[in-house]
Structure 1
Amino acid sequence: MNIPLAAASVAAILVAAAFALAPRQEVVTEVGIDATPAQVWALLGDPGSYRDWNPFIVSMEGELAEGKTLVNRLRPETGNEIAFKPVVLKVEPARELRWLGRLFLPRVLDGEHYFILDERQGGTHLIHGERFHGVLLWFIDAKRFGADFERMNAALKARVEAGQSSPERSGDAQ
């Protein structure tokens, strides 16, 4: 038997098994915003505005349209600024936004990031989270991003409630 070939076959099987059995984690945050989903969407659905209000996703370039690729720059509270290029999965104005970010290859570290806006008593209940899947989750805890999501939620809430998300109210906030 050819030992190098057998070792390579075993290694390939182990790598395939690792990717197939890659762990999953989800981070979910929620916030109530005293504004309509349309008012929240006016800011959340405007990629060019992120640099003005968002402490976590400090810039977003691209079109929010299904199948399009964005260029997002993240500034986590702990760690270095990073750029990634997620693909937009779903855009329902004033309802839902989803994209899939991927580190290198599928299942190394995939993240389906989402925002769900639900109208409640004249305001908006925002669910902001991400479903992670990949072999890197054996080495990192995705829950660490929860604090960054919370910072983003607080900034979005403050900006929208100050009336700076809708053009007709922007002069009223001064």
Structure 2
Amino acid sequence: MPTISHTIDIAAPADRVWAILTDTTAYPEWNPFITNLDGSLTRGSQLAVTIALPGAKPRRFTPTVTAVEPERRLAWLGRLLIPGIFDGAHSFDIEPLTPESTRFTQSERFSGLLVMMLPGMLRSTESGFAAMNTALAARAEE
């Protein structure tokens, strides 16, 4: 099944990138892709996430957090209705390059019956990843 990914190198330490990523109350100030995120970033918690894909109305979904590794990884699994229809395993990976630089990768692996019917949405999602990653880098490098 398709996976989309976007990676950016950020001139900021991993702890700063993690702090910005996990300060979800500030997302409306800087994040053009995930415009709102409510819920606890703890494994097993359900979130309420609003995404804004380029050229589309904002969409809200309720994924479940699957991994939280401070300063390393945050991941969740979202589903449309029931498992196997349209599932997305989303992750944010933080890799320290030096004490003052970080590689940030956002990716999602899609699976389910409807995935191949939505190629335009996959392209829009990739654009959303790029926009968020660029905005995250700008905020971290301030």
TM-score range (shorter-chain normalised) is over 0.9
Instruction: Say whether residues 1:54 and 2:24 are aligned partners.
Output: no
1:135 to 113, 116, 124: 113
Q: Which runs of 4+ in 1 moved over 3 A?
A: none
2:54 and 2:124 in contact (8 A); partners too: no
Paired position in structure 2 for 1:150? 130
What is the Cα deviation at residue 144 of structure 1? Answer: 3.1
Residues 56-76 of structure 1: CA deviation (Å, up to 9, x unaligned): 100000000000001001111
What is the Cα deviation at residue 46 of structure 1? Answer: 1.4
Aligned residue pairs, count = 139
Cα distance in 1 between the residues matched to 2:2 and 2:13: 30
Going by fraction, where is helix more abundant, 1 or 2? 1
Q: Which moved more, 1:84-93 or 1:45-54?
A: 45-54
Cα distance in 1 between the residues matched to 2:69 and 2:123: 27
Uncovered stretches (5+) of structure 2, i.e. residues with no partner: none
Cα distance in 1 between the residues matched to 2:21 and 2:90: 13
**Larger Rg belongs to:** 1
Cα distance in 1 between the residues matched to 2:44 and 2:26: 21
**Equivalences for 1:18-167 in 2 at 5 Å?**
24-121=1-98, 122-141=100-119, 142-162=122-142
Sequence identity, in percent? 35
Letter in 1 for 2:107: G
1:34 and 1:124 in contact (8 A); partners too: yes
For the residue of structure 2 that corresponds to 1:135, the secondary structure is coil
